[in-house]
Structure 1
Amino acid sequence: MGLEAREELKNQELDDLALVWSHMVASTDSLVLKWTLDMSITDIIHRHGEPMTLSQVGASLPVPCGNYDILRRLMRYLVHMKLLRAQGDDLYHLTSASQFILVDDAKSLVPFARLIQQGDVEGRCQALCCLLEAKGATSAFETVKGEDMWSHAAKNAEHNKLFNVAMACDARLVTPALIDGCRDIFQGIKSLVDVGGGTGTASRGIAKAFPHIKCSILDLPHVVETIPDYPDVERVAGDMFSFIPRNDAVMMMKILHDWDDEDCVKILNRCKEAIPKEGGKVIIVDIVLDIDEGHEITRTRYAFDVIMMISTGGKERTEKEWRKLLLNAGFSQCEITLINALQFAIIASP
């Protein structure tokens, strides 16, 4: 073997080693992000209105800073994560990504981060291992808690609030992307029900963008009772497995990924009963795994498949799986549109 070939093998080995190490220490990113949110690092700099020195950040923390070397090293890691930008050795700027971890920003993902970060990582890993052998439990959450997530949320007001706020913050990002990327699908629709619409972020956004559409939310009673009384959105308490009110369109944003194929077909059958045979639409906003795979966001889409496995027993689906699912539920047409979001718009017609 020539010198050049041996050098190439060495470089490949180093690349492989770096890949494995990056996965091994990936939990550090989550740990530092949690610390960043707990200490309000980005919010402190944002409120200051201009870049801050290390000493200024330390003096503004919610707890006394007694070790500036530790703070400097953590700030350095945030720069490596591209959540901050350093100027010289001692001046820190926000980046364009920082807006997503500002508590009060309209695009904040902080509540969703809190939802993902809760719980014991080791315990969830053990539960995943148990799922390989278990026949009764449908998710790691159920294995650990002894009940599914929906039953737990109905009895646990704190978890219910955390979940609903997290879903609302995600909907604030996804809804404008849906409206901008698929404006034509809302033309001709006079009424729309947002199934599993939570606290109404998505349906209110659609009602504002399309005043001609009468919007409503269908969700479980313990969710509906937390929804404020919005004049442009009707609230309906109910179970989507039993009944979906008749409308020109049914929208489900991040709903079907919570369920296995059998349950999804049941839900979709209810959707089909609720819309007109001519002109009726089911608007599904969910991840499609194998489209746009070249984008960096692809890893997050695959990660959500594991998150669904842990939390609900559901799954993220490929294009082929989505088309098969909709065909099995009696839908003859399916159009998948890429929007500026983690999710895609999947439009199904009878």
Structure 2
Amino acid sequence: MFRDNTKVIKIGNRVIGGGNPILIQSMTNTKTEDVKATVDQIQRLTKVGCDIIRCAVPNMEAAKALKDIKKHISIPLVADIHFDYRLAIAAMENGADKIRINPGNIGDDEKLGAVVKVAKERKIPIRVGVNSGSLEKDILAKHGRVNAEGLVESALNNVKRIEDMGYDNLVISIKSSDVIMCIKAHELIAKEANYPLHVGITEAGTVNAGNIKSSVGLGIILYQGIGDTIRVSLTGDPVEEIKSAKLILKTLGYRRGGIDVVSCPTCGRTQINLIKLAGEVEKLTAEFDHLNIKVAVMGCAVNGPGEAREADIGIAGGNGVGLLIKKGEIVRKVAEDELLDTLRYELENWK
């Protein structure tokens, strides 16, 4: 299932690689120097299942804020650095559990070496991040355009620069907003490097478009056993990234726990506001992440029980009548407006 020959990397109190469970990441969209806002968002993300959080560090104030942020969170914090090697060093000195850099824009070997020296002293992993918008000019000239081969070449070149400095506590990420390019790049690098891979479709788009692109890309990559930690990049509330990542992993069978909600697509027989009911059920079931069951929401009291046969529990309704269904059998009739409360009671008392 997984590439279990990858190097195991410790990030704060979590580990990735070596066949360990795939961890979910997100990134704050607050100003990092606003400690309260950043902590509040990280705590919300942690509550819904975020395993590792990344914060932008565009200035020294943000780097120093990491020290206070770390006091109030329970998951590893990754500092996202671009261009200024001094910010990478400051971030590590202020408690970052990992740093994300693109060595190509950090600077020459002297500057990169200064970053690696501190990382080595503190045993802090470095994520070597390359994306389609940051390829070096010589690689672009060689390939004539941005492509999967160029992404992999850039990543491996930058990894070698750090290896040559005597450090191999590394994670690799190669991202593109082009789904097919991203898939091919991961297939290529999985054959060339044994470092853990952080997988995502960068700049995927809005919650709607981004979810589709991420599901297709991540699904294909992960199904091949490639990937050790993931992020679903969405233009929106980062909480939505966690929900989507959890569902992708659960759909592929890589993560257990949490209720799987299935619902019929509605048709001319539907005699209930199924769209509203399904949304309410999805919101309700999010409170029961400890249950590993399937819940069906059906809009037809005639065909509902049969269609819900494979679910552990289901509800169906129409014409003022609600049905509670277990394994395809009707176990109770209730008023239609009592369906949601009936389902909540069953989940709260699930055995």
The structure with the greater share of residues assigned to strand is: 2
Higher helix share: 1
TM range (shorter): under 0.3
Report the TM-score when normalising by structure 2: 0.25
TM-score (norm 1): 0.25
